[in-house]
C-alpha cells in the first residue's frame, strides 16, 4: 500500500476518514511494518539537451505513534540548494481513531488555521469548523440517509452569505459514487461520478457541467499493491472525445512492501520522482 502522494498531502490534510479501540483509524496511513517515521522527497525532472536531470522541490516528514496515529507532518521547500521549513500540522484523535482536530502552523510556529471535526456513531463526519485568527472562518455540516445511502453537505463561510451545497450518493461500502454541487436555489452547478474496482480503488471519474453534459472523464488501473500504474484523462466536446493526458507510474518497494521510489511519466515523458524513507 502506498502512502498518500506528496502533491496531494496538503489537499488531503483536512479531509478526514469516516474512520471502542480505534476502529476507524487508518493505521500508519496504510503503510506496512508499523513505521515510526516516513520521509518523502519530491524531485521534478528538467531536461537539457534532451537529457533529464533531477531538481529537488519539496520534502515531507510524518511521524506516527505505536498505534498508527499520525502525530505530525512537517513540510519543507527546496531553495538555494537547501531545504527550509514551510508549514507543519499536528493531529488529534478521539478514542475511535477519528481525527477530531488538526492544527496548521506557519514556519515561525504561529497557528495559521485550526480545524475541529465531529462524527456520528458510525464514524462519519457530521460537522467541521475552521478557525483562523481565533475566529470561525467556515462551518460545514453533513447529514446522511442510511437507508438510501445518500448525504448532504452544506458549507457556510463567515465572510459570505453564500452557501456551498453538495448532495452525495454512496455505495454499499459508503464510498462516494456521486457528488452533485448545487446553487442556493437547488440547481445543479456540476456533478462528478466515481466507480471502484473490487479492491475499492477508484478506477473511473466523470465530470458533468450545469447542463448535465459530460465534459471530462478519466480511467485508472492499479497493480496488486493497489497503487495506480496507468491513468488516462479525456475531454469531451459534443460528439468529440480527445485524450488530454496519459500518466504512467513505476515503483520500487522495500521488504515491507512499501513504496521507496515512484516515477511519474506524463505522456511517456518522465516528469517527477518521489523517494520514500521509513524508520521502523
pLDDT of residue 14: 41
Cell triple for residue 64? 506516527
pLDDT at 3: 52
What is the per-residue pLDDT for 162? 76
Cell 500518466 -> residue: 247
Burial of 248 (0-12, 13-18, 19+ CB in 10 A): middle
Q: Residues 52, 56, 57, 62: is their CA dihedral positive or negative?
A: positive
pLDDT for 175-197, tens place per residue? 999 999 999 889 999 999 999 99
d(CA 152, CA 110): 34
The three cell numbers locating residue 202: 477508484
Residues in a beta bridge with 276: 40
The answer to whether the beta carbons of residues 19 and 98 sit under 8 Å apart is yes
Fold of 6-279: Porin (2.40.160)
**Measured between alpha carbons, how far is 108 from 87 in angstroms, rounded to an integer?**
9
Sequence ranges of the domains in the chain: 6-279
Query: Dihedral of CA 9/14/15/18: which sign?
Result: positive
pLDDT for res 21:
66
* DSSP-derived 3-state class of residue 29: helix
Task: Report how far residue 126's alpha carbon sits from residue 124's, in angstroms, rounded to the nearest whole number.
Answer: 6
What SS3 state is found at 262? strand
Whole-number Å distance between alpha carbons of 175 and 202: 10
Task: Tell me the whole-structure pTM to 2 decimals.
Answer: 0.85
Provide the pLDDT for residue 85.
Answer: 94
**pLDDT attached to residue 278:** 98
From CA 117, how far away is CA 142, in angstroms rounded? 11
Chain centre distance of CA 277 = 20
Residue stretches of the chain with pLDDT short of 70? 1-21
User: What is the spatial distance between Cα 150 and Cα 200, in angstroms, rounded to a whole number?
Assistant: 18
Amino acid at each position: 500500500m502506498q502512502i498518500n502522494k506528496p502533491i496531494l498531502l496538503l489537499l488531503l490534510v483536512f479531509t478526514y476518514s469516516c474512520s471502542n479501540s480505534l476502529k476507524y483509524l487508518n493505521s500508519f496511513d496504510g503503510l506496512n511494518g508499523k513505521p515510526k517515521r516516513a520521509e518523502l522527497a519530491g524531485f521534478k525532472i528538467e531536461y537539457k539537451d534532451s537529457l533529464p536531470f533531477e531538481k529537488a522541490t519539496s520534502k515531507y516528514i510524518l511521524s506516527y505513534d505505536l498505534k498508527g496515529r499520525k502525530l505530525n507532518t512537517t513540510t519543507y521547500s527546496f531553495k538555494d540548494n537547501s531545504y527550509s521549513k514551510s508549514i507543519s500540522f499536528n493531529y488529534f484523535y478521539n478514542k475511535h481513531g477519528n481525527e477530531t482536530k488538526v492544527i496548521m502552523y506557519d514556519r515561525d510556529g504561529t497557528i495559521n488555521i485550526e480545524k475541529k471535526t465531529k462524527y456520528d456513531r458510525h464514524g462519519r463526519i457530521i460537522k467541521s469548523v475552521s478557525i483562523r485568527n481565533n475566529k470561525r472562518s467556515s462551518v460545514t455540516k453533513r447529514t446522511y440517509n442510511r437507508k438510501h445511502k445518500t448525504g448532504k453537505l452544506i458549507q457556510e463561510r463567515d465572510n459570505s452569505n453564500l452557501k456551498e451545497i453538495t448532495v452525495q450518493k454512496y455505495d454499499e461500502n459508503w464510498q462516494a459514487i456521486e457528488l452533485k454541487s448545487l446553487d442556493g436555489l437547488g440547481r445543479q452547478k456540476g456533478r462528478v461520478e466515481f466507480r471502484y474496482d473490487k479492491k475499492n480503488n477508484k478506477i473511473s471519474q466523470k465530470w458533468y457541467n450545469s447542463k448535465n453534459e459530460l465534459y471530462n472523464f478519466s480511467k485508472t488501473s492499479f497493480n496488486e499493491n493497489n497503487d495506480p500504474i496507468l491513468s488516462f484523462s479525456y475531454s469531451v466536446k459534443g460528439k468529440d472525445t480527445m485524450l488530454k493526458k496519459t500518466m504512467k507510474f513505476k515503483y520500487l518497494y522495500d521488504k515491507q512492501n512499501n513504496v521507496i521510489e515512484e516515477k511519474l511519466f506524463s505522456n511517456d515523458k518522465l516528469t517527477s520522482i518521489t523517494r520514500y524513507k521509513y524508520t521502523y
